[in-house]
Amino acid sequence: MPKMKTHSGAAKRFKKTATGAFKCKQAHLRHILTKKSTKRKRQLRKSSSLHASDMKSATRMLPYS
């Protein structure tokens, strides 16, 4: 049987934690930053965990993580 391939785009965006959840960077910090408050931009720096409804697809894309 051939090996399963890791989705390279997902591998760059998600990291698996020890508990089995996936860490990811928060959205809305790429452009149009002038209208966003400093507090909002600072809080978006923190990593968040992937939502439970997306866990199945992330696990499929990252079989070896």
User: 11 with 65: CB under 8 angstroms?
Assistant: yes
pLDDT of 1 reads: 87
- The per-residue pLDDT for 43 is 98
User: How crowded is residue 13: how many other Cβ atoms within 10 Å of its Cβ?
Assistant: 16
Give the tokens for residue 64.
Answer: 């070896």
**pLDDT, position 10:** 97
- Quote the pTM value: 0.83
What does the alpha-carbon distance between residue 27 and residue 40 come to, in Å, rounded to a whole number? Answer: 12
pLDDT at 59: 96
pLDDT, averaged per 10 consecutive residues of the chain (65 residues), comes to 95 96 97 98 97 96 94
